[in-house]
Amino acid sequence: MVWVVSNRFYLEIQRNGRVDEERFIRNSRLLASQLKIPIVATHAIQFLDAKDYKAHEARVCIAEGYVLADRRRPRVFTDQQYFKTQSEMQALFADIPEALANSVEIAKRCNLQLELGINRLPLFPVPDTISIEAYLRNQALSGLKQRLQGLPENEFNDKLSIYQTRLNFEVDTIIQMGFAGYFLIVADFINWAKQNNIPVGPGRGSGAGSLVAYSLGVTDLDPLRYDLLFERFLNPERISMPDFDIDFCQDRRERVIEYVKKRYGIESVSQILTFGTMAAKAVIRDVGRVLDLPFNFVDQLAKLIPFELGMTLKKACAIEPQLEMRAREEEDVRNLLELAESLEGITRNVGMHAGGVLIAPGKITDYCPIYCAEASESVVSQFDKDDVEKIGLVKFDFLGLKH
């Protein structure tokens, strides 16, 4: 156990001066001596550079509904909460250098490494007497024969021979790429949904080109009949996670997610976070509000920004002469754009992915942080869909559609 020099007390030091600092250090040392535990230096970093302080305050005001110039608003942060250099930290804790040494010691112990580029598929339960690869091959062949049932015997044998050649090729590719478990997991919860009268879409996207998916009941489209290519879905030349777009009845989709939680353990399943960022038009309006500029003034500026996907303030100033001219001639416009540019693109709020669900091979907290939103029971990853794929977790799509 360690005693940490509290960030909250550190802010009081910044506000109240040297006398409080000396008393705080004296009390910290006394407490550490009494409890026989070492002191550790910390610093609450809120932004990278000292010059970012105003932008950080503006972001706080945007989030909490305040105006920058309001003297009564809570001021929880200081201009000293930037990423300090080693020499600056040494100067701050010159009276207690052992606190810095202890911080370094803790950092050395934080040696957990998460390897990237390794797929961490959940484990699909199969009988002990068979491998998951052989189980997939058997299930796919069995499902294919069921799909072809009802054909005359001669036609059945001819088609089975042609279809089985394609099936073997697909199964070999799936096994080679290490995705046998993925196909079985998807087939399991889709077939559970069908057996429990939950409408499921017939399949769409590149996944409809898989005969294995058709044989397992994941899709209801015969890819050979429509000349669909499996290579568009999975290709050893282009390594990427398979991704079936699966449509469930919107009203009963939650039942399928609950089934998955029971099947693989509630600690192994979460939904996926999404980040809402400050886009060009929105950040102009947000910053204009916290600067307490007139609504019509800000509205005119926001409307000068072209409505185009991927538009940025820099690009808008380059292609809209009136915006660039006003920034040159009007101080309020210049200040607004300067502050807005420093905030553009940063996270404004968080939400939940429309249909993405993570299933981990163990506790999800072993791989990524999670949180539970207020007034909600759904656990959500703190990584977005791109980052969860980078750490090897697999996203399953549970899309809800009205029927």
- Give the chain as a 3 state SS string: CCEECCHHHHHHHHHHCHHHHHHHHHHHHHHHHHHCCCEECCCCCCECCHHHHHHHHHHHHHHHCCCCCCCCCCCCCCCCCECCCHHHHHHHCCCCHHHHHHHHHHHHHCCCCCCCCCCCCCCCCCCCCCCHHHHHHHHHHHHHHHHCCCCCHHHHHHHHHHHHHHHHHHHHHHHHHCCHHHHHHHHHHHHHHHHCCCCECCCEHHHHHCHHHHHHCCCCCCCCCCCCCHHHCCECCECCCCCCECEEECCCHHHHHHHHHHHHCHHHEEEEEEEEECCHHHHHHHHHHHCCCCHHHHHHHHHHCCCCCCCCHHHHHHHCHHHHHHHHHCHHHHHHHHHHHHHCCCEEEEEEEEEEEEECCCCHHHCCCEEECCCCCCEEECCCHHHHHHCCCEEEECEEECC
pLDDT at 171: 96
Q: How far is Cα of residue 293 from the mean position of the Cα atoms in its chain?
A: 35
CATH code 1.50.10.20 for 278-347: no
Q: How far is Cα of residue 257 from the mean position of the Cα atoms in its chain?
A: 19
Domain 132-274+350-401 CATH class label: alpha beta
Tokens of 134: 């052989």
For the chain, the average pLDDT equals 86
- Residues sharing a CB contact under 8 Å with residue 186, sequence separation 6 or more, in sequence order: 213, 216, 218, 244, 246, 396
Helix axes 331-343, 295-304, angle to 10 degrees: 60
Q: What distances in angstroms separate CA 47 from CA 57, 83, 346, one per listed residue?
A: 10, 7, 12
Let me know if the fold of 132-274+350-401 is the same as that of 278-347. no
Query: Taking Cα atoms as reference points, which of 315, 234, 232, 329 lies closest to residue 279?
Result: 315
For residue range 133-160, list pLDDT tens digits in order.
Answer: 999 999 999 999 999 887 777 778 888 8
Q: Could you give the CA distance from residue 135 to residue 129 in angstroms, rounded to a whole number?
A: 10
For residue 48, count CB atoms less than 10 angstroms from its CB and return exposed for 0-12, middle for 13-18, buried for 19 or more.
Answer: exposed
Domain segments of the chain as ranges: 3-109, 132-274+350-401, 278-347
pLDDT at 112: 62
Architecture label for domain 3-109: Alpha-Beta Barrel (3.20)
List of the chain residues with pLDDT < 50: 1-19
pTM, to two decimals:
0.74
